[in-house]
Amino acid sequence: MPKLSWSDFLARVEAFPTTSIPVAELFRLVRSVEFPRELLESHMQWSPETYQRVPLYRSDRLEALVLCWEDGQATVIHDHGPSCSVAAVTQGLVKVENFRRADRGERPGFARLETTETLTLNPGDVCCSEIGGIHAMGNEQGGRKRLVTVNFYSPPLSRIQTFDRATGAIGEKVYPALLATL
């Protein structure tokens, strides 16, 4: 598929017949979009405390955020509630850990997780997570190198579950407060 301009990408997203774009279709579209450098640069923000989530686009069908990661910054283990997600790496290397529940939910408020896959993605790579997919992402490049990803959610984020790596405790965050705390 030839590269799509940002405006052509948004037109295809908004022409989609339902408000939830299937993850395979969103993955295909994100893989084909050309991210204008000026667009990304105007949305880059950095903080030494935590990675930054900068809104790029939002409609009933899709939310897009530019995530800016300093060296050593990472998410907690989380899912995206009722949303699927696709992430495109535009600068740096991202470590992605995918998990699955290794229990049957018999202990409310807790989950036992198993790592299913650990990946390192390069600029131009795209990854996705189905609805209910559990993962963590981070910048472990070292050398004070920065990472930029563009993350897409369909439908837009409304709530997520977080999973404590040490205790297995499950938390919940509700939009819009979750943007500042992921």
- Answer whether 0.75 is exceeded by the pTM: yes
In a domain, 119, yes or no: yes
**How far apart (Å, rounded) are the C-alpha atoms in residues 68 and 160?**
20
In a domain, 94, yes or no: yes
Would you give the distance in Å from CA 95 to the centre of its chain? 12
Q: What tens digit of pLDDT does each residue of 17-53 get? A: 998 999 999 999 999 999 999 999 999 999 999 999 9
Domain coverage including residue 94: 6-180
Q: Looking at the 3D structure of the chain, how many domains does it have?
A: 1
In a domain, 1, yes or no: no
Secondary structure (3-state) at 85: strand
Kindly tell me if the per-residue pLDDT of 108 is higher than 80: yes
In a domain, 129, yes or no: yes
Report the CATH number that the domain containing residue 30 is assigned in CATH.
2.60.120.10
**How far apart (Å, rounded) are the C-alpha atoms in residues 66 and 176?**
16
pLDDT score recorded for residue 121: 98
Q: What tens digit of pLDDT does each residue of 53-95 get? A: 999 999 999 999 999 999 999 999 999 999 999 999 999 999 9
Would you give the distance in Å from CA 63 to the centre of its chain? 10
- Which residues neighbour 11 within 8 Å (Cβ) at sequence distance 6 or greater? none
